[in-house]
Amino acid sequence: MIISYKYRAYPDAPVETRLHETLDTCRWLYNKLLEECNTARENGLSPTMRGMQARIVTLKDENPFLKIVYSKVLQMVNYTLWSNIAALSQTKKRGRKIGKLRFKGAFRYRTLNYNQSGFKIDREHSMIAFSKIGTIPFTMHRPYIGKVKGVLITRSGDRWYVIVQAEQEASASKREGRSVGIDVGLSSFAVDSEGAVIENPRFYEHSLDRIRKLQQSIARKKRFSQNWKKAKKRLEKTYDHITNQKKDFLHKLSRQYVDTYATICVEDLNIKGLKEKSNSKGLHRSIHDASWGRFYFYLAYKAESAGTNLIKVDPRNTSQMCSNCGSIVKKNLSERVHECPYCGFVADRDYNAAENIHRVGMEQPFEPVETIPLHHISVMQVLSMKQEATPFRAG
Ligand SMILES: [Zn+2]
């Protein structure tokens, strides 16, 4: 499993110039190869990725700038082109109307791909040396784990990022011990079968005043003026901050679950039944979906390296079924309490769902469910949990 870690990078002025030059050369190559592919096809030929690979060598006479770009990076330009071609034909096969692959304009080409070689990471000083580019410092806010397979350098606006792609090895042995079922919800972020209720983080709502003020201040300023740019940057920074808070929350929560339990049962997000959980919630729904998805993803890869079993269960009926007797007790989203008319079991709606997820995941028969008092875990408590377990101590 390859995991990507994205870090903000800070090239100095000469290195930044070099990055722009290299991106421009790669863009030229991309467009050139695409053009030659198109011409070949128009003449009834079938160009191949391998053929184009060989073409890069002869193009170096046509454009001497190609000689000062790391050769693997040039190969990856061709690789990207062919991935795009493959993706396009996939879309075509699915019956969608599509045009041709487009040539990349000056601001559309943003990423250099150092695959397997040409880079050297100095973890201790948070720097990466790139062949034919130079050394770039970066902030490793979260240490990457595993063997590095490649590094991308990418530009977004006037910011630079490095993306470290590391291979995570699965743990050889599965753990034994306690198991838990987790239900993600709307009124709280999650409720588990041990009775923990995780508060919903509201980082965006908490920053809303600041965002509105910054938006107003941008609106008052002259477009593209220095002050306008500054205000824009401040707003961007606020959004970045919210994203980081959210990720931090999800990382710490998933870490806590993986460290505590040997088996974790969650709903399978790929099955449509999850719709019953969040229908007609509009925008809020999609925000929830996104953070649930990220939470499950973090759980999955942390579990894999820790030897924790992650079991995904069919989400159909997890909230409607009585976890005590198995009867279907219909309720709509606004009903927060599960009250079974058949066996008399009363519980918090999400706790009942977590119990079902746990029972289905562990393939256990129905047995009387303990009615336990739920305990609330605040966002602050989650944020003060320990960071990613790091394989070694830095510095
Ligand atoms: Zn019941």
Q: Distance, CA 313 to ligand 1 centroid (Å)?
A: 21
- CA 198 to ligand 1 center in whole angstroms: 25
How many angstroms separate the alpha carbon of residue 327 from the centre of ligand 1?
Answer: 6
278 Cα: distance to centroid of ligand 1 (angstroms): 24
What pLDDT is recorded for position 95?
Answer: 74
Distance CA(93)–CA(147), nearest Å, equals 36
CA dist 254 and 292 (Å) reads 11
Q: Ligand 1: distance of its center to the CA of 332 in Å?
A: 17
> Could you tell me the distance, in angstroms and rounded to a whole number, from the CA of residue 328 to the centre of ligand 1?
8
Higher-pLDDT residue of 106, 296 = 296
Q: For residue 322, how far is its CA from the centre of ligand 1 (angstroms)? A: 5
Q: What is the pLDDT of residues 1-50, one digit of tens each?
A: 788 899 999 999 999 999 999 999 999 999 999 999 999 999 999 999 99
Note whether 163 and 152 are within 8 A (CB).
Answer: yes
188 Cα: distance to centroid of ligand 1 (angstroms): 24
Asked whether 154 and 114 are in contact (CB, 8 A), the reply is no
Instruction: Give me ligand 1 centre to Cα 330, in Å.
Output: 12
Classify residue 53 as exposed, middle or buried by CB count within 10 Å of its CB (0-12, 13-18, 19+). Answer: middle
Question: What per-residue confidence (pLDDT) applies to 328?
Answer: 95
Question: What is the pLDDT at residue 369?
Answer: 84
Q: Cα(357)–Cα(238) distance, rounded to whole angstroms? A: 37
Predicted confidence at residue 12, as pLDDT, reads 97
User: Cα(188)–Cα(372) distance, rounded to whole angstroms?
Assistant: 18
Confidence of residue 87 (pLDDT cuts 50, 70, 90): confident
Token pair for 164: 């470290």
d(C-alpha 144, C-alpha 140), whole Å: 8
The pLDDT score that the predictor gives to residue 257 is 95
Whether the per-residue pLDDT at 387 is higher than 70: the answer is no
Q: What pLDDT, in 10s, does the model give residues 347-369?
A: 999 999 999 999 999 988 888 88
Tell me the pLDDT band of 394, cut-offs 50, 70 and 90: very low
Report CA(336)–ligand 1 centroid distance (Å). 16
CA distance from start to end of the chain = 28
Least confident range from 23-32, 318-327, 345-354, 379-388: namely: 379-388
The pLDDT tens digits of the residues spanning 235-259 come to: 999 998 998 899 999 999 999 999 9
DSSP state letter for 278: H
Dihedral in degrees, nearest 10, Cα atoms 332, 336, 339, 340: 50
Q: What local confidence, expressed as pLDDT, does residue 393 receive?
A: 29
Output the pLDDT for position 187. 81
pLDDT surpasses 60 at 278: no
Predicted local confidence at residue 360, as pLDDT: 94
pLDDT at 15: 98
Which residues have a Cβ under 8 Å from the Cβ of 205 and sit 6 or more positions away?
A: none
What ranges make up the beta strands (E) of the chain?
2-9, 111-115, 119-122, 127-130, 134-137, 147-156, 159-167, 179-184, 190-192, 196-198, 263-267, 309-313, 337-339, 346-348, 375-377
**Distance between Cα 277 and ligand 1 center (Å):** 20
Looking at residue 389, its pLDDT comes to 46
CA of 264 to the centre of ligand 1 (A): 24
72-83: average pLDDT: 94
> Among residues 260, 262, 252, which one has the least CA distance to residue 298?
252
* 325 CA distance to ligand 1 middle (Å): 4
Q: How confident is the model at residue 96 (pLDDT cuts 50, 70, 90)?
A: confident
Cβ-proximal residues to 198 (8 Å cutoff; 6+ apart), any chain: 188, 189, 190, 191, 192, 253, 377, 382
Q: Which residues pair with 100 in a beta bridge?
A: none
> In this structure, what DSSP letter does residue 223 have?
T
pLDDT for 390 beyond 50: no
Whether the per-residue pLDDT at 323 is higher than 60: the answer is yes
